[in-house]
Amino acid sequence: QVQLVSSGGGSVQAGGSLRLSCAASGSTNSRCMAWLRQTPGKEREGIAFIHTDRNSTYYDDSVKGRFTVSRDNAQNTVYLQMNSLKPEDTAIYSCAAGANFYDCSWYISRTTPFAYVGQGTQVIVSA
């Protein structure tokens, strides 16, 4: 049974920083992991993607230059460092893991859904 447990959310003022963590348990053998976020009334969207088998990342334009995704394969943990936070970054953030035969391009293009999505952690950014 695969579990993805996110932590690190909270409340911060605009311009501040937060670091989210996602600990994976069980054997995902995923080639791609990602951070998703959802705001009320909107579809959940992928904002940061990282390959587990090569040094490659991808960011949505809304977070590029401010957020950094990283991984520690030995600890089965993925991180999201969020800097220069804006009120529009307020959302529930979840981590996701893909199947073992798809790289991140399948998920960036939304060709296929993630195999595993963890529970979310709330991030609130006040003006």
Residue 55 binned pLDDT confidence (cut-offs 50, 70, 90) = confident
Cα-Cα-Cα-Cα torsion 8, 99, 110, 93, nearest 10 degrees, comes to: -10
Give residue 53's pLDDT.
87
- pLDDT higher than threshold 90 for residue 123: yes
More confident residue, 101 or 11: 11
Share the mean pLDDT of the chain.
94
pLDDT at 27 (0 to 100): 73
